[in-house]
Amino acid sequence: MALTLALLEGGLLFTVVLFVIVVWTHPLLMGWIDVAILLMQSLAICACCITAFYYNDFYNLRVVKSFRPYAARVLSSFGLTFLLLAGFYALFPTAKIADGPFVSSFAIIVGLLLPFRAASYAFMRSHPFRERVLVLGAGGLAARLIREIESQPHLRYAIVGVVDDDRAAGNLRRLLRGPLEHLDKIVKDLEPDRVIVALSERRGRLPLGPLFDARLDGVVVEHGVEAYERLTGKVAIEALTPSSVIFSRDFRKSRLESAAGRGLSLLVALAGLILVAPLLGLIALAIRLDSGSPVLFVHDRVGLRGRRFKLLKFRTMHRAGADVSDWTRDQTHRVTRLGKWLRRFRLDELPQFVNILRGDMNLVGPRPHRVTKYEAFLETIPYFSLRSVVRPGLTGWAQVRYGYASRLDEETEKIRYDLYYVKQLSLALDLRILFATVKIVLFGRGSRTRPRRDEEVFAEGVRTVSPRVSSVAR
């Protein structure tokens, strides 16, 4: 839905700007060069608007869920649009248009976008056009799926009922439409467009006959685990089984995909080191003046296949005494004055371009853990070791979708995102993560940030969670 909305708004913007330029300036289109200039002028404004809207979360319908926050952000987003256009016109002076069409275009854009987006939100919430969904099962997975669907109207789904035994319904009893043995009658009565199978225990309970008949009648039948991943961008760890992991093709990537990701990482890391070399020198000098030596923080981390490597970062904390442990207490009081700014804009991570060139990391991937945490998580988080089948990254899916973790339950939630990245690994997903990372670094949006980072307390959480399927996770 978000992609459709972006395409529709992009087409609307381009049409409006092109119309205003033609009507206002009456350009003499004597040849293909004139046509190309006209199209470039229209595309420039359109592209800058869409980029500004993207970095203001206008197409993240989890953030901008309704018309009111959208309308409040529209005018402020044009400030970023003007900055982008100023840079574009500095590079391509011939693309600049007269002040009259320029101002008129933005006036008409605002006048059209507001009612267009208002109508879009009204459409997303309209019940007649929603896809009717019937859920089989009333366990934890089913409850999470229903919660996701009900909290995101842009998904265009409407829950029409739950099918399971009454004793299993629990909190979903309000949606219960009957037991599994009556599924054929329930499907005929409710006429769902989609059936999601989210049974906690399917052995001997899955009504194959009614599901087969529903499939023949054009009803989409979907596995609950796949639906959960598609809707949330994370893996339902509790629903994974050893056999589903062993026989799955998703955790085995082709050499072409691996080579594409590695090539992108090397290219960006090399270009990044060349472009920011003066900045690296200034940061190193500032650290020396602010808090002395050393400039770099070097620490053992766990990478591909569990191998250890030396992670490089700019030092952002004062040196600790011998009695300080990263696992025993919060140490944010040790952050230096300069370190606060380096962390805020992620500049302390720049030396990891060297780790990428060494082969320790990729540009995108699960963040590398400290050795002590890695060993503890192997015993406490199911399938934790699967995140090590790819190189760790400077940024990752869990970083842009969740942020920092300060407790074991939060770390478990991040693993859901990491495993989703491992399953769906592709160059397109890497590029999506990179765009989102730029948004987080520049604007602080799109990720759940926390005041405490790697120095958080994990020991208490590790002691209170009993090991689960540790033999499988290894």
Per-residue pLDDT of the chain (474 residues; tens, 9 = 90+): 677 888 888 888 888 888 887 877 766 676 788 788 788 888 888 888 888 888 888 888 878 888 888 888 887 788 888 888 888 888 888 777 766 666 777 777 878 888 888 888 888 777 677 899 999 998 889 999 999 998 888 888 999 999 998 776 777 888 999 999 999 999 999 999 999 999 877 666 788 999 999 999 999 999 999 999 999 999 988 888 787 777 777 777 778 888 888 999 999 999 999 999 999 999 999 999 988 889 999 989 999 999 999 999 999 988 765 444 444 444 567 788 898 888 888 889 999 999 999 999 999 999 999 998 898 999 889 899 899 989 999 999 999 988 777 788 888 999 999 999 999 888 889 999 998 888 888 765 544 444 333 333 333 333 333 333 333 333
In single-letter form, the type of residue at position 219 comes to V
- The confidence score (pLDDT) of residue 218 equals 92
Which stretch of DSSP H or E encloses residue 341? helix 337-344
- The confidence score (pLDDT) of residue 458 equals 32
pTM passes above 0.85: no
Of residues 307, 331, 311, 334, the one with CA closest to residue 389: 307
- The confidence score (pLDDT) of residue 332 equals 66
- The confidence score (pLDDT) of residue 30 equals 67
3-state SS assignment for residue 298: strand
Which residue is associated with the tokens 């200034």? 282
Tell me the angle at which helices 277-291 and 255-275 cross, rounded to the nearest 10 degrees: 70
Buried b (16+ CB within 10 A) or exposed e, 304-327: beeeebebbbbbbbeeeeeeeebe
CATH for the 127-232 domain, from 3.90.850.10, 3.40.50.720, 3.40.50.920, 3.40.50.300 = 3.40.50.720
Pairing of strands 176-178, 194-197: unpaired
Pairing of strands 296-302, 362-364: unpaired
Residue 327 near residue 459, CB atoms below 8 Å: yes
Neighbours of 110 (CB within 10 A): 13
Residue 448 DSSP code: -
Q: From residue 439, how far is each of 52, 57, 266, 445 by CA, in Å? A: 10, 9, 22, 6
Which residue is associated with the tokens 């590029």? 431
Q: How far apart are CA 473 and CA 13, in angstroms?
A: 50
Q: From residue 452, how far is each of 344, 404, 446, 449 by CA, in Å? A: 12, 8, 18, 9
Q: What tokens appear for 55 in the block?
A: 């970095």
Which stretch of DSSP H or E encloses residue 367? none
Is residue 249 packed enough to be buried (19+ CB in 10 Å), middle (13-18) or exposed (0-12)? exposed
Residue 433 near residue 398, CB atoms below 8 Å: no
Residue 192 DSSP code: -
Give Cα 363 to chain centroid, integer Å.
15
Q: How far apart are CA 185 and CA 187, in angstroms?
A: 5
Domain chopping of the chain, boundaries: 2-124, 127-232, 255-473
3-state SS assignment for residue 270: helix
Q: How far apart are CA 460 and CA 325, in angstroms?
A: 14
- Is the Cα dihedral 228, 232, 233, 235 positive or negative? negative
